[in-house]
Chains A and B, each alone.
Chain A
Amino acid sequence: ETGVTQTPRHLVMGMTNKKSLKCEQHLGHNAMYWYKQSAKKPLELMFVYNFKEQTENNSVPSRFSPECPNSSHLFLHLHTLQPEDSALYLCASSQDWDPVNSPLHFGNGTRLTVT
């Protein structure tokens, strides 16, 4: 059982829809992340939240909007997506932002298909 839970597991949406991805971590971690995983591409970091504050936004288009209401929950709000946004979206958490003592724990991802 993973300590990081993502819902839904699969999502199909049209380009005009609005949907949200949800991530919940049960590990007491202080940092949470959204990653995008596309075939044959490196894992792309999208957003970072540390103690509920957004500390990184890697030039992600505004059609992706993150929300972190508390240190256990992270959302990714989606609207007006493009077909190239189809990918596996992974949520991760870590105790803090330092990789030395704080491994990343990943959820199983949401497979998003934009039609």
Chain B
Amino acid sequence: AQSVTQPDIHITVSEGASLELRCNYSYGATPYLFWYVQSPGQGLQLLLKYFSGDTLVQGIKGFEAEFKRSQSSFNLRKPSVHWSDAAEYFCAVGPPSGGYQKVTFGTGTKLQVIP
């Protein structure tokens, strides 16, 4: 069975600093991978996704993620964090078929941005 782990429950960074949020998955083949963001009081919004091809994926709001098969990881990065990036971030993994019924979400990483 597939699984996804976000090892960091809470991360604090200074505004302007770089950011990396970790995501590790368990799946027998190349999965579909997603990063979502949830701002306070709102639903989840898709930041980026990986299905195939270039392992470095660009998303919205200046985020990118890199798929590393050897490490079973799909870490999210941003070179310079803005205060508006304070939110909770969810990694998700799914098989190449089966729809959203088969997508598993992580438990989330809450990002705090300090001035």
Binding site for B on A (CB under 8 A): 2, 4, 31, 33, 40-43, 45, 48, 55-56, 90, 92, 94, 97-100, 103-104, 106-109
Main SS of chain A's interface residues?
A: loop
Q: A104–B105 contact, CB under 8 A? A: no
Q: A98–B105 contact, CB under 8 A? A: no
A90-B43, A99-B34 known; A42 and B99 CB under 8 Å?
no
A interface footprint on B64-105 (CB within 8 Å = 1, 0 otherwise): 000000000000000000000000001010100001110111
Q: A2–B43 contact, CB under 8 A? A: yes
A interface footprint on B37-80 (CB within 8 Å = 1, 0 otherwise): 00001111110010100000000000000000000000000000
Q: Name A41's closest neighbour in chain B (CB-CB).
A: B107
Q: What are 17 A-B pairs at a CB distance below 8 A?
A: A40-B107, A41-B107, A42-B104, A42-B107, A45-B103, A48-B100, A55-B101, A97-B101, A99-B32, A100-B51, A103-B49, A104-B44, A104-B100, A107-B43, A108-B41, A108-B42, A109-B43
